[in-house]
Amino acid sequence: MDSQKLVEYLQRKMPNASDVRVIDLVRIPGGSSRETYSFDLEWNERGERKARPMIARRDPTGGLLKSERSREYKVVDAMNRAGIKVPEPLFLELDPSVMERPFFIMHRMPGRTAAGGAAAAEPEPLRRKLADQFLDEMVKLHRLDWRAIGLEWLGVPKDLDEPAHSQTQHWFDLYNADRMNESWPILDAAFAWLKANPVRADRITIVHGDFRAGNFLFDERGFISMLDWEMTHLGDPIEDLAWSAMRLWGKDHLAGGLIDREAYFKLYEQKSGATVDRKRLLFYGILGNTKMSVICLTGIRDLAEGRTSDPTMVTLLSIVLPILLEDLAQQLKLV
């Protein structure tokens, strides 16, 4: 991302600003579904010098997810207005000629992220606080009136049976598109089981789709902000719970690297007032491992076909995918 082009763009978007400066523009490692850049913005406005920390998220040349940047921006905007802890979205640019590829800009929140293994290294009192606040935010999201905040455009399921069917079909279609004619017997078996054993939701809620360790900001005081809303849809809330507790995002018996998995489910029940249906939890656990395997195959295909050179894709093939397939094999033995 070119800092001078970014200055010119922001000057156009901020007509009351002068002497606009982009400082310390750096790409943040990771972000395989978007290129993520951090910078500080400074400008003069009405005789006052102002500054704001910013994040830019630009479409990559290839990567793990093929999602619409306008969709994520609109979801984050709705979440911000609804009081969910998210960065404030500021500018959306769909014209690829401005910065080579579409992008959007939002406020940069303080704090750090930690994947499950890293989160497990945090002091236990902080991990317990984070688990409590993390599930608070999940329950708050699931209680939002998606009609009242105008999110029908995400696609309203016709009934309580549809979420399981539609999510299975969505990821099955992507699997067939990105498997490169290779045979993956465990994934074939998983999709066959998912199609034969659909579950019925108890209600339709907003589903973040990637609510997990590594996708939220925190500091020593606790949870700050939820990130990465590109997979948000309307569906079964147990999908988020099962996804967040997958072994890939945690460590040993710790859900998300935070607290014991069973204690985690009980805490969700206490906060939501809803019993965690173990049949649905198993279904979405199998779907979660299958879905993430398909996401890996998408990234590996883009690497093989030259659309990305991101070394993360090699890690997916050598480390992540084997963990997912091992978990799937164990899950399918239980059903």
Residues 160-172, mean pLDDT to the nearest whole number: 98
Over 70: is that where the pLDDT of 63 sits? no
What is the model's pLDDT at position 67?
A: 55
Residue pair 309/190 in contact (Cβ under 8 Å)? The answer is no
Q: Give the mean pLDDT of the chain.
A: 93
Percent of the chain with pLDDT over 70: 97
Beta-bridge mates of residue 43: 50
Beta-bridge mates of residue 251: 254
Residue pair 289/246 in contact (Cβ under 8 Å)? The answer is yes
Domain with CATH 3.90.1200.10 in the chain: 116-333
CATH of domain 3-107: 3.30.200.20
Over 70: is that where the pLDDT of 62 sits? no
CATH number 3.20.20.70 given to 116-333: no
Residue pair 301/178 in contact (Cβ under 8 Å)? The answer is yes
Beta-bridge mates of residue 180: none
Domain with CATH 3.30.200.20 in the chain: 3-107
pLDDT higher for 310 or 66?
A: 310
pLDDT band at residue 284 under the 50/70/90 scheme: very high
Over 70: is that where the pLDDT of 60 sits? yes
Percent of the chain with pLDDT over 90: 83
Over 70: is that where the pLDDT of 31 sits? no
Q: How many C-beta neighbours within 10 Å does residue 1 have? A: 17
What is the model's pLDDT at position 66?
A: 53
What is the model's pLDDT at position 180?
A: 80
What is the model's pLDDT at position 153?
A: 97
pLDDT band at residue 33 under the 50/70/90 scheme: low
95-104, 177-186, 237-246, 248-257: least confidently modelled range: 177-186
Residue whose pair of structure tokens reads 């066959």 in the numeric block? 192
